[in-house]
Structure 1
Amino acid sequence: MTKDAAGTETLGRLAHFPITIFGITMGLFGLALALRAGGFGAASMSVMWISAAVFLALITLYGVKAIRFPAHVAGEWSHPVKLSFFPAANISILLLSILLQGQVPAISAALWMLGAGVQAVLTLVIVTAWISHRAFTPEMMSPAWFIPAVANAIVPLGGMHLGFIGISWYFFSIAVLFWSILLTLVFNRLIFHDPLPGKLRPTLVILIAPPSIAFLAWIELTGGTIDAMAHVLLNLGLFFAALVAIQVPALVRLPFALSFWALSFPLAALTTALFRFAALSGVEGYHMAANGLLVLLCLIILVLGIRTVRAAMAGDICQPD
């Protein structure tokens, strides 16, 4: 292959560098949070810095894509599934801010303010796109649509630590509203319409994330109290985990795609929620369950990392849909 041909091929791949790739950093930062919640501080810090390096590389590449190929970015923005992944990059910023709370407070606060501001704008813009875009059909709905709602629920995890109580309740309220709306729409799509296509089937695991993150946010908002609502949210997370577990045999038979990273962050969120519940309630069974999920999470991310590197080396990731 000539130098010019190689350069053209590289540009072609960059044009198709997918916004969905930020599911990787969501999963990695989620693992760091789960490790921290489990008391594995040194491992958490190591994973956090690796995650930050990966995120910096990915956001740089996507920034170059936005400059060189704005039409491709616009195409992703108008896509019914990919649109919901734009907050995924911002979720990574919010998660990093939470991880840095006790290490570099000033940077943590700056990242949280950036992430909260961007999320406020993204929520308004995405919801506007949803209600004004008449090309959407029920078949375009998938659990990936939960990502913007999850992003809003993450904001209080850092906001309460910084003393932004009113703002944290604002984001939590939005998260709960759109989680309930989208949950109804997603189940309507799953029950009354054709099954999800292969590449989107792993996004079923995202069902676990909203109640798990909402539980963690609720605990922060209510001062660490295990009340009735906390029980409801955690048990909804456990129910969806059981529901998704039944789908695992079918999922493992699917060919690898970036959408498989949808397995990572929701499981990390539930693991963190179980560790938090165990610490506050003192019930050892929840701590044992959290440790078991943490081991599973580490194995899943290891496998996903290996499969992603192999797919990238084979040129299977940055390809037209």
Structure 2
Amino acid sequence: METSIDKRPALTAPWGSLKHLPVNLFGAVMGLAGLSLAWRVASTVFGAGTMIADAAGMTAIVVFIALALGYGAKWAKYPSAVKDEFTHPIAGNFFGTITIGILLLSTVVATYSTLLQEIVWAIGTILTIALSFISLTRLLKGNMDVAHATPSLLISGVATLDIAVAGGTLPMAWAHEVNLFAASAGAVVAIVFFTMIFSRLVHQAPLASGMMPSMMILIAPFEVGFLAYVNVVHRIDAFAALLFYVGLFFFAILATRIFRRSIAFATAWWAISFPMAALSNAALKYAAARQTIVLEYLAGALLAIVTIAIVVLFVRTLRILVNGKLLGG
């Protein structure tokens, strides 16, 4: 015979369960770190202070620690949920946001300690190469569903490019060779993946509404490629300019498709943050090299846009965390 105790509903935490913590939320670390780097460059281009750069960088560190602890607890308590996410043909791509986040944080901590920068970069480099190896090995097994060729696939494609982005200024002699290896591998993989994804977007059904923000990742190979290339060759030449302008052109096209009220907010929106931050960084560095007023205005406008976008994303994420929707399942 059932008792009244048996009929009582199970108690749940007011904020939900860590089981539902999405790995794509690590994209917030990438966006915040990228924003910090952009404002750091702006301090030299426009003479702006470093207060915003420092604030964004510290926020990126705090967010990474919080997410790492949270996702580590999820892994310990719900290992099957993490395994399902890692092996998922689309969600699994977002594990690259963890390793890229570590790489970008190495540039953030450089302000405080060169030794810490080198350690964090080395850790991020090893993890990024390992994850890219796993991702490519998985794809080469064949029989990939064309519907799974989504923009998130590019995360593993541009991941090794970020090794050169974060490590281009490191003084170790061996770091230059690692950067060359990473940039070359990342460039080829990014080109192949971009072609696959673009073909799928043209010839197959449109992406679901919830996946539309991830389309901004399509500009990443060009803008991250610009930053990696400039760090490797230590100059901004015509090829670098071509990469920058192609990314800018795609940004103008994609912005009209992504920024619509009909697309509900979710953590997937963080996918826009780092590509836009990379575009802003590239624009600032290109403007500094060319020293023309039009490019300076463009760089300033892009910096303002990405700053507003990330602030909005941060506030709205905190809101859904507090009201239980983020971890509610």
Please, what TM-score do these two structures have when normalized by structure 1? 0.93
- Is 2:261 aligned against 1:245? no
- Is 2:141 aligned against 1:137? no
Aligned partners of 1:98 and 1:157 also within 8 Å: no
Secondary structure (helix, strand or coil) at the match of 2:181 reads helix
- What is the 5 A alignment of 1:86-101? 86-101=95-110
Q: Give the corresponding residue for 1:17.
A: 21
**In structure 2, C-alpha distance between the alignment counterparts of 1:248 and 1:22, rounded to whole Å:** 20
- Is 2:304 aligned against 1:300? no
**In structure 1, C-alpha distance between the alignment counterparts of 2:255 and 2:86, rounded to whole Å:** 31
Of 297, 300, 321 in structure 2, the residue corresponding to residue 312 of structure 1 is 321
Structure 1 outlier segments of 4+, above 3 Å: 8-12
Q: Which of the pair has more CA radius of gyration?
A: 2
Aligned partners of 1:23 and 1:262 also within 8 Å: yes
Aligned partners of 2:16 and 2:324 also within 8 Å: no
Encode CA deviations 1:165-198: one digit per residue, 9 max, x unaligned.
Answer: 1110110011111111111111111111110011
**In structure 2, C-alpha distance between the alignment counterparts of 1:10 and 1:64, rounded to whole Å:** 18
Number of aligned residues:
315
- What is the 5 A alignment of 1:197-208? 197-208=208-219
**In structure 2, C-alpha distance between the alignment counterparts of 1:33 and 1:150, rounded to whole Å:** 18
- Is 2:231 aligned against 1:227? no
Aligned-pair Cα RMSD in Å: 2.0
**In structure 2, C-alpha distance between the alignment counterparts of 1:181 and 1:248, rounded to whole Å:** 24
Of 147, 152, 165 in structure 2, the residue corresponding to residue 157 of structure 1 is 165
Bigger mean CA offset, 109-118 vs 94-103: 94-103
Q: Which amino acid aligns with 1:101?
A: A
Secondary structure (helix, strand or coil) at the match of 2:140 reads helix
Q: Which amino acid aligns with 1:180?
A: I
Q: Which amino acid aligns with 1:230?
A: A
Q: Which amino acid aligns with 2:154?
A: F
Closer/same/farther in 2, CA of residues 292 and 107 from structure 1, 3 Å limit? same
- Is 2:56 aligned against 1:47? yes
Of 216, 220, 225 in structure 1, the residue corresponding to residue 227 of structure 2 is 216
Q: Which amino acid aligns with 1:81?
A: I
Q: Which amino acid aligns with 2:65?
A: L
**In structure 2, C-alpha distance between the alignment counterparts of 1:202 and 1:11, rounded to whole Å:** 25
Q: Which amino acid aligns with 2:276?
A: L
Deviation for aligned residue 1:133: 6.0
- What is the 5 A alignment of 1:8-87? 8-9=12-13, 13-39=17-43, 40-87=49-96
**In structure 1, C-alpha distance between the alignment counterparts of 2:142 and 2:83, rounded to whole Å:** 14
Equivalent pairs: percent with the same residue?
A: 31
If each structure's helix is expressed as a fraction of its own residues, which one has the higher value?
A: 1
Q: Which amino acid aligns with 1:151?
A: A
Q: Which amino acid aligns with 2:79?
A: P
Q: Give the corresponding residue for 2:46.
A: none
Deviation for aligned residue 1:102: 3.9
Deviation for aligned residue 1:316: 1.7
Q: Give the corresponding residue for 1:283.
A: 292
**In structure 1, C-alpha distance between the alignment counterparts of 2:96 and 2:219, rounded to whole Å:** 18
Q: Give the corresponding residue for 1:267.
A: 276
- Is 2:111 aligned against 1:107? no
Deviation for aligned residue 1:246: 2.3
